[in-house]
A and B are shown apart, each in its own frame.
Chain A
Amino acid sequence: MSNITLIIYCGLITFLTRFSMIALLKKEMFNDRIREVLSYVPSAIFPAIIFPAIFLDNNGSILIEDNPKILAAIIATGVGVFTKNILATIFSGLASYWAIIFI
């Protein structure tokens, strides 16, 4: 599959997830239970991207010692819990990462 074909398919699936419920749904189809579980989708998916990007090295092996990303991510999480601010979380993480690798 060429890159652009793959992008078009990804665009299509993104569109369909946005469109399907608006187009098809009769109100009763999703009960409160399913709605509640769906609200956990971000907490279920995003860590699967976050954790490997922090704890694995370029070869995919687990790297705990001498890994500046771990401390930077902990600081960012702390700032996130404290401020609930998206920008502050991103920039505190980047700033502490740079501070650790460059100083």
Chain B
Amino acid sequence: MSNRSKNFFKGIKDTSPLMIPVVPFGIIFGVLAIDLGLTPLTTIAMSVIIFGGASQIIFLQLFSAGASSLVILSSVGAVNSRHLLYGTVLSEHLSDLNLTWKIIVSYFLVDQAFAVSNEHFKKNKKDKDKYFHLIGGGLNCWTIWQITTVIGIYLGSIIPEKLGLTFAIPLTFLALLVNDFRKFINVIVILVSGTIATLGYQIIPFKAYVIVAASVSLLVAFNLTKFRKKNNE
């Protein structure tokens, strides 16, 4: 097996345990999209073009609330800003690639692939084909995401509305925060953001409550970390 294939299959293997929560997430997305009146084709187009669970679900949430295109676009941008961090962390390992490979790798840079490939890159700094690990992991996520979207589309026409599956949206995002519940600053940031969004939902114009809440609470995070640093010095 070539070195590239070895890296590629290692990426698939390493991301596999992380695919378990992706399955219900993808299915929930497909079900909700159909519930909210998107066509199956538009739903699949979203999973292929955007290829990001949180982005796609916030799209649906704001779309169904009647938010404008600009608000949807900027909220998707805000949800995606964590990728800037991923790119920052990985850039030192990927700086030698040519533009085409950088584009391909970027398309596959999802949370799960980042998590495992970052570890892999740190351990295999000298392997020039190591980026195939990220492509393997990303392609694994991609495949699972498309399949579960289609399953969701199919189930969306069967599952009764009475089940209240839209409640799965906040639960899914809640679940993505499980590692932050025990950290003091994170808990403060979570409460500030949630309170502003809830109270501001009706008041803040253009349904921009997500962006307003996120900006203010990031500012709080900025100040709290500064305060903590000062106290530790």
Asked if A49 lies at the interface with its beta carbon under 8 angstroms from chain B, I say yes
On whether the beta carbons of A22 and B209 are closer than 8 Å, the reply is no
Residues of B within 8 A of A1 (CB): 69
Main secondary structure of the interface of B (DSSP, over half): helix
Residues of A within 8 A of B143 (CB): none
Please give the distance in Å from B179's CB to the nearest CB on chain A: 6
For the A-B complex, the count of residue pairs with Cβ-Cβ distances under 8 Å equals 252
Q: A19-B87, A90-B175 in contact; A55/B198 too (CB < 8 A)?
A: yes
Q: A37-B221, A45-B210, A48-B193 in contact; A53/B170 too (CB < 8 A)?
A: yes
Asked if B3 lies at the interface with its beta carbon under 8 angstroms from chain A, I say no
Q: How far is the CA of A36 from the CA of B170 in the complex (A)?
A: 25
* Selected contact of A52 from candidates B81, B106, B189, B201, CB within 8 Å: B201
Residues of B within 8 A of A101 (CB): 164
Q: How far is the CA of A56 from the CA of B61 in the complex (A)?
A: 13
On whether the beta carbons of A49 and B202 are closer than 8 Å, the reply is no
Please give the distance in Å from A20's CB to the nearest CB on chain B: 6
On whether the beta carbons of A87 and B24 are closer than 8 Å, the reply is yes
Number of residues from A at the complex interface, CB < 8 A: 68
Asked if B197 lies at the interface with its beta carbon under 8 angstroms from chain A, I say yes
> What is the size category of the interface that chain B forms with chain A?
35 or more
Q: How far is the CA of A11 from the CA of B76 in the complex (A)?
A: 9
A36, A45, A46 — most chain B CB neighbours (10 Å)? A45
Q: Which residues between 19 and 71 of chain A lie within 8 Å of chain B, taking CB atoms?
A: 19-23, 25, 27, 29-30, 35-56, 60-62, 69
Measured CB to CB, the nearest residue on chain A to B85 is A38
On whether the beta carbons of A18 and B175 are closer than 8 Å, the reply is no
Residues of A within 8 A of B178 (CB): 80-81, 83-86, 89
Q: Which residues between 170 and 191 of chain B lie within 8 Å of chain A, taking CB atoms?
A: 170-182, 185-186, 189-191
On whether the beta carbons of A44 and B103 are closer than 8 Å, the reply is no
Q: How far is the CA of A62 from the CA of B194 in the complex (A)?
A: 13
A1, A38, A40 — most chain B CB neighbours (10 Å)? A40
Residues of A within 8 A of B51 (CB): 11, 14
6 additional A-B residue pairs with CB within 8 Å, beyond A14-B52, A80-B177: A43-B180, A44-B193, A45-B78, A53-B166, A77-B181, A85-B178
Give 12 A-B contacts (CB < 8 Å), ordered by A residue: A11-B50, A11-B51, A18-B83, A38-B84, A42-B176, A43-B189, A47-B213, A51-B194, A53-B61, A76-B175, A80-B178, A89-B178
The 7 closest A-B pairs by CB, nearest first: A21-B87, A51-B194, A11-B49, A47-B194, A48-B197, A19-B106, A48-B213
